[in-house]
Amino acid sequence: MTVHQTTSRRRFLTALAAAGVATPFGLAACSGSSGSDSSSGGAGPVRITTADLPPAQTNPAGRAQFQADVDAFNTANKGSIELTAHEYTWASDTFAARLASGQLETTFLVPFTEPSKLIARRQVADITQPFQATADFADLNPQLVKVAQSDGKTYGVPVGGYAVGMVYNRAVFRRAGLDPDSPPTTWDEVRTQAKRIAALGGATSGFAMPTQDGYGGWYFTMMNASFGNQLERQDGSATTVTFPNGPSTQVMQLLHDMRWTDRSMGSKGVQAITDVQKQMAAGQLGMFTAAGDNLNAIVVQFGGKPADIGMGPYPQHGSADATLTGGSTAMFNVRADSRQLAAAAKWVDFHYLRQYSDAATAKQQFAAIAKDKTQTIGYPTLPLFTGARESTWEAIRAQYADLPAANFTAFNDWISSATLQPEPAVEAQVVYQALDAAVQKILTDSGADIGAALTAAAGQVKPALASAGAR
């Protein structure tokens, strides 16, 4: 918010969009229109719209590629489907207006942090039927599919997924006398290495954590997962928070000690994800935890050197071996009828997933991205599919990669065995916002009472959990 969510997680989505989200097509921004286009009418062709057409100004190559796919889809479905693409990227503060006015596209991408909220508010369509009817969807990675599932129903199709690991600057590691091929695997090691890096002096920090727009809460949730702790607990039909408890207090204490005892976290306790990405790109930061798509932002938006940026496992404390996922899922307009939903699902399969079953398409799309200066290829992703088609796709991607794969070996070796923990199931954004404040308190006030900060956050979350779906 945010995860104001700036928007709740608006920046996250922007980063995902900028990254091209596991689909070699770029994503997009800005307005669009025409809810009336979404009416399927009677027996004529079904009219649908899709968001995420890349903007001409910032991503002309991606736009041309996207539009070519729209044209190819319309040609292949001539007489039965008419698809129009709009330059709109989902954002929490524009979504409501588009939905209310009937201008929301038939299908649109949202970040993984959003589906549970949209499903709970009944603002997205149930696509269980077209999902089950599409053969390609059956092989999707179930861990990514479940992000948009609830009560046995499916509401989205994942088109890209990432796991969170430790992004680090290899050049900074070398300057601090650390081995860039051995990123930390435990929080104890993170603490030790962050101290070494901070000792370089100047404006260099060892470790950083974004704390605005819900990121503080999201990252805190992740740290808790690595300490074996989930922040929400089902108590019969009710949901309650588990914090403050032992692990959440330990996590907060670790942050407190790194910030105030070791002084390895710089001097900012309130900062956005983009602030942290900038520091990483500028070689002023040793480490921060992030999903693989962050590498795109670091390199493309902020000019980081690809050779300097590495990614290792998410650090652990104990035996949890857990991390959270990030990514993007296609969701569908709740006002769309069954014909439109079927047509939109067909488009999602054609546009986002065709490359996984058709090598020629994958090559063509990677070749287009390789020419596009706004995207990189080769940052670590989670397997979108189970089975051989994923490995075939990854082999093709490796041929076009412009980020050095060797820099991510430690992450890739680890991720296949890690546990991907889901986000808090109920009112996740409220949890993140409340914990933003708690984390900020600890990182801006050396004398802060950890128990009191967590208790205050819990107090803020409980009414929302109690009234979820009740008002």
Partner 1 sequence: MSVATRPVRGGSPAVRRRAGAVVRGYPWLLPTIVVFGLFSWYPLVRGVVLAFQDDNLVSPPIWVGLANFRYVLTDSLFRVAWVNTVEFLLLGLVLGYALPVLVAVAISEMRRLQGFLRFLVYVPVVLPPVVSVLLWKWFYDPATGLFNQVLSAVGLPSSPWIQSSSTAMVSLVLVATWSSFGATALVYVAALSGVSGRLYEAAELDGAGALRRLWHVTLPQLRYILLVMLLLQIIGTMQVFTEPFVLTGGGPNNSTTTVALQIYDYAFVYNDYGAAAALSVVLAAVLAVLTALYLWLTRRWAQ
Interface positions with partner 1 (CB under 8 A)? 1-8, 92-93, 96, 99-100, 117-118, 121-123, 203, 211-214, 266-270, 272, 334-335, 427, 429-430, 433, 436-438, 440-441, 443-445, 453, 456, 459-460, 463-464, 467, 471
CA distances from 424 to 116, 245, 331 (A): 9, 16, 20
Q: Look at the block and give the residue holding tokens 């330990």.
A: 250
Q: How far is the CB of 201 from partner 1 (least distance, A)?
A: 11
Mode of pairing for the β-strands spanning 322-332 and 107-111: antiparallel
Nearer to partner 1, 28 or 118 (CB): 118
Three-point CA angle 37, 42, 47, nearest 5°: 25
Nearer to partner 1, 377 or 450 (CB): 450
- CA 2 – CA 434 distance, rounded (Å): 10
CA distances from 429 to 120, 284, 404, 461 (A): 12, 30, 35, 10
Beta bridge partners of 301: none
Q: How far is the CB of 385 from partner 1 (least distance, A)?
A: 31
Nearer to partner 1, 6 or 65 (CB): 6
- Helix, strand, or coil here: 44? coil
Q: How far is the CB of 93 from partner 1 (least distance, A)?
A: 4
Phi, psi dihedral angles at 140 (to 5 degrees)? -65, 150
Q: How far is the CB of 164 from partner 1 (least distance, A)?
A: 21
Nearer to partner 1, 278 or 351 (CB): 278
Nearer to partner 1, 217 or 383 (CB): 217
Report yes or no: 154 and 115 within 8 Å, Cβ to Cβ. no
Distance of CA 135 to the CA centre of its chain: 26
- CA 166 – CA 286 distance, rounded (Å): 10
Q: How far is the CB of 408 from partner 1 (least distance, A)?
A: 29
Q: How far is the CB of 96 from partner 1 (least distance, A)?
A: 6
Q: How far is the CB of 439 from partner 1 (least distance, A)?
A: 9
> With b meaning 16 or more CB within 10 Å and e meaning fewer, what string describes 418-432?
bebbbbbebbbbbbb
296 closest CA partner among 26, 51, 64, 109: 26
Nearer to partner 1, 359 or 456 (CB): 456
307 closest CA partner among 291, 295, 293, 292: 295
Residue type, 29: A
Q: How far is the CB of 262 from partner 1 (least distance, A)?
A: 16
Nearer to partner 1, 282 or 359 (CB): 282
- Helix, strand, or coil here: 339? helix
- Helix, strand, or coil here: 112? coil
Mode of pairing for the β-strands spanning 156-169 and 322-332: antiparallel
Q: How far is the CB of 228 from partner 1 (least distance, A)?
A: 27
- For residue 211, count other CB atoms closer than 10 A to its CB: 31
Beta bridge partners of 232: 241
Q: Look at the block and give the residue holding tokens 């189970």.
A: 386
Nearer to partner 1, 192 or 460 (CB): 460
Q: How far is the CB of 16 from partner 1 (least distance, A)?
A: 18
Nearer to partner 1, 357 or 460 (CB): 460
Q: How far is the CB of 121 from partner 1 (least distance, A)?
A: 5
Nearer to partner 1, 50 or 211 (CB): 211
Beta bridge partners of 168: 287, 310
Nearer to partner 1, 171 or 270 (CB): 270
Report yes or no: 184 and 312 within 8 Å, Cβ to Cβ. yes
Q: How far is the CB of 454 from partner 1 (least distance, A)?
A: 12
Phi, psi dihedral angles at 324 (to 5 degrees)? -105, 165
Nearer to partner 1, 42 or 201 (CB): 201
- Alpha helix segments (H runs only) across 227-358: 246-256, 273-281, 294-296, 338-348
86 closest CA partner among 14, 35, 18: 35
